[in-house]
Amino acid sequence: MPRLTLTPPGDYDLARDVCSYGYFLLAPNRWHVEARTLTRVLSLPRGPVGVAISQPKGKALSVWLSHTLDTTNRAAAIIQLTRMLRLDDDEATIAEFHRVDPRFAASGRGRLFRSPTLFEDVIKTVTSCNVTWPSTVQMNLRLSDVLGHRIDAEPARIKGAKAPPSSSAFPLAATIARTRPQTLRARCRVGYRDRRIVELARLFRTPPKKGGIDTVFLEDPATPDDAVFDALVELPGIGPYAAANIMQLMGRYARLPLDTESVRHGRTLLGYKGSSAQVMKRLDEHYAPFGRHAFRSYWFELWEFYERKHGPAWGWERDSTGKMFTAALLNKA
DNA sequence: GGTAGACCTGGACGC
DNA sequence: GCGTCCAGGTCTACC
């Protein structure tokens, strides 16, 4: 079976750095606990490919492929894997975060898992709004199963895996753009998000000059945070929370995506009292000193709280532990 | 500028 | 097994 080898930053730990944000539990991603391997299908210019990513000797990453890639697809696969795994967050960046917030220096935490493309991150964020986590899991499973391109070949191999790897990719913007909202609602159970998801897909397919999303402008590090935020909240289905969440997925950590779970965290761990709006204001003030690393400090504080309840994240199964993250259950905990 | 209510789904709960 | 209630962020209408 063909294979790619990727050299990550010297401090990279696949299990820690993949199992660092909830999207590792969302289809088409599949984390195999015992094999400590991430599988999924990537959509490449010349068709989908199944990948199985592991770190056998604690250094280089092995990426087993369902079939051999030509030069174009190979280059595209490396770009997508680099984005998803945050391989471009180098040691110096993570060390800077640890200087700002030394609480995470020992664990080495600093990288946050994301999707291979901005489009997938935006749609995943929309599926996480106004819904409990198990529904988000289901929506992404169905989106991939119903609209994702399937691979014909055997999925990439995984030593010691209990669950089969998925054989569908996340749907392309082009596919969703030509799907009827009613189909999304009926078959993917996305509810009232149906039109918003189709509109977003169409905006991703439309050139910026004709009113489409200007991904170059959004992803340019020189673009100020405020300009990115203003552009994102103009999009259908994207409010202040979703915009801030998409920004952290883009590597902009100064803003906090605050939701009801943040309020629970502020009340139970930080002892804040008052209305939700008051608690959110205090949370913003609390993490402001961490500057451009604010979200990392907030998130890993929250993540370690989850890990104290449920064990290390690399041991979470999507269909059991991975479904437990609802405010109601956490409040009981 | 601030706020109330609708939008859907799925899980919890009571009967 | 059925009905009711509730959680969840965004959007629109209204003040």
What CATH number does residue A52 fall under?
1.10.340.30
Which residues pair with residue A61 across a beta bridge?
Answer: A6
CA-based angle A266:A269:A275, to the nearest 5?
30
The whole-number pLDDT of residue A162 equals 63
What average pLDDT does the segment A17-38 reach?
A: 96
The whole-number pLDDT of residue A319 equals 80
Q: Which residues does strand B reach (CB under 7 angstroms)?
A: A 130-132, 134-135, 138, 185, 189-192, 328
Q: How many CB atoms lie within 10 A of CB A130?
A: 15
Distance CA(A19)–CA(A70), nearest Å, equals: 30
Task: Tell whether A319 is covered by a domain.
Answer: no
Which nucleotide is closest to the Cα of A330 by its C1'?
Answer: C7
What average pLDDT does the segment A167-181 reach?
A: 96
What average pLDDT does the segment A156-165 reach?
A: 66
Nucleotides of strand B within 7 Å of the protein's CB atoms: 7-12
Residue type, A149: H
**Model confidence at A164: pLDDT above 80:** no
Q: What is the mean pLDDT of chain A?
A: 93
Which residues pair with residue A50 across a beta bridge?
Answer: A41
Say whether both A7 and A50 belong to one domain: yes
Residue type, A331: N
Say whether both A199 and A76 belong to one domain: yes
Whole-number percent of chain A with pLDDT over 90: 86
Could you tell me if A81 and A3 are in contact, meaning their C-beta atoms sit under 8 angstroms apart?
A: no
Residue type, A101: D
Domain boundary (A249, A273, A290) is at A249
* Closest to A197 measured CA to CA, from A216, A221, A180, A218: A180
What average pLDDT does the segment A204-216 reach?
A: 96
The whole-number pLDDT of residue A324 equals 65
* Closest to A133 measured CA to CA, from A332, A328, A294, A333: A328
Distance CA(A30)–CA(A37), nearest Å, equals: 8
The whole-number pLDDT of residue A100 equals 98
Which residues pair with residue A39 across a beta bridge?
Answer: A30, A52
Which nucleotide is closest to the Cα of A277 by its C1'?
Answer: B2
Where is average pLDDT lowest: A127-131, A156-160, A207-211? Answer: A156-160
> Helix, strand, coil shares of chain A as percentages rounded to 5?
50, 10, 40
Range of the domain at A265: 253-309
Task: Tell whether A152 is covered by a domain.
Answer: yes
pLDDT in tens, A53-104: 999 987 899 999 999 999 999 999 999 999 999 999 999 999 999 999 999 9
Which nucleotide is closest to the Cα of A130 by its C1'?
Answer: C8
